[in-house]
Amino acid sequence: MTMIVTGAAGFIGSNIVKGLNDRGISDIIAVDNMKESRKFRNLVDCEISDYFGKENFLEKLPEMGKVDAIFHQGACSDTMESDGRYMMENNYRYSMALLEYCQKHAVPFIYASSASVYGSGSVFSESREHEAPLNVYGYSKFLFDQVVRRMLPKKTAQIAGFRYFNVYGPRESHKGRMASVAFHFCNQFRENGCVRLFEGSAGYGNGEQRRDFVSVEDVVKVNLHFLDHPETSGIYNVGTGSSEPFNAVAVAAVNACLRHEGRDAMTLETMKEKGMIQYIPFPEGLRKQYQSYTEADIGALRQAGYVEPFLTVEQGVSRYISQLLKP
């Protein structure tokens, strides 16, 4: 069984590779851009059969022989990237080439979309009237989803796209400032004894802006579920279906650190009183493209047959931070 994973050294991609390995699958062709060379660490404990740089992979693809599925996770995910030409070529045009190959050769195509397609809206369900991306990253994902929608009625093989909400978990340290808030809160607390959240905005109190935070463990489970069900196609939200405030992530991260130090857990109020949680001014440059609230409507995902429960912030962040703190 030959699998191709693009973005294989990245956050979600490397977790998918590891998930495939856990199933006994090691014939995996990894595709990525190793310009950020430290990403290689994400694959050190994984088994792959070959590696290609994303720049020359497309020309090699016709020579690959039989491919059982492609997990397309590779993309520029920096929402602050201002080079629209690069974003569209890298995220949209590259995805188009892979999709066309998969349809020509009847290969299941499982790809990463993004919740950024919803922009500043308050309804997060997979229909056109709720989609209005705020930046070129979101637009690149949105435009590809529109192509997929038109292709679904005449598809020759599975096409499954996942609109990931706020994913956190192992193998994200290479992302720097783009890593999850759980990762940053853990590092801040260990370095400074406190974590810093944004003050209130858009009608929300300090640290009370809400997102749908989803563990990468659950993201991998969803991807593998669709691998097991090639008869199922469509575009689906992948989140927990429940929004939680940034304060909840901070409390879970700090308490995981405290437990690691042999100390008792604390409430949010106690942490604020002790200065362990502090609030900083909301950046003006971020206001117009900031999602203060997200909550995935996962009705379509459930109807597609995925019935597994999702980890809560307390469960998932606690587990993740405990892994980060292992010697």
Report the chain's C-alpha Rg in angstroms.
Answer: 20
Instruction: Look at residues 305, 135, 154, 311 and name the one whose alpha carbon lies nearest to residue 236.
Output: 305
Which one is catalytic: 54, 175, 221, 272?
175
Contact call for residues 60 and 52 (beta carbons, < 8 A): yes
Which whole-number Å values give the CA distances from 201 to 186, 209, 291, in the listed order?
Answer: 23, 7, 10
- What residues contact 262, with CB distance under 8 A and at least 6 apart? none
The angle at the Cα of 232, spanning 231 to 235, to the nearest 5 degrees, equals 150
Spacing of C-alpha 295 from chain mean position: 15
Active site residue 175: yes
Spacing of C-alpha 69 from chain mean position: 20
Q: The tokens of 165 are what?
A: 């909400």
SS3 sequence of 12-23: HHHHHHHHHHHC
Which one is catalytic: 92, 137, 168, 320?
137
* Cα–Cα dist 143/141, whole Å: 6
Counting other chains too, the contacts that 33-36 makes at CB distance below 8 Å and 24 or more residues apart are 33/74, 34/9, 36/174
Q: Write the single-letter amino acid at 314.
A: E
Active site residue 60: no
Q: What are phi and psi for residue 272, nearest 5 degrees?
A: -65, -40
Instruction: Look at residues 42, 151, 138, 29 and name the one whose alpha carbon lies nearest to residue 102.
Output: 151
Active site residues: 137, 175
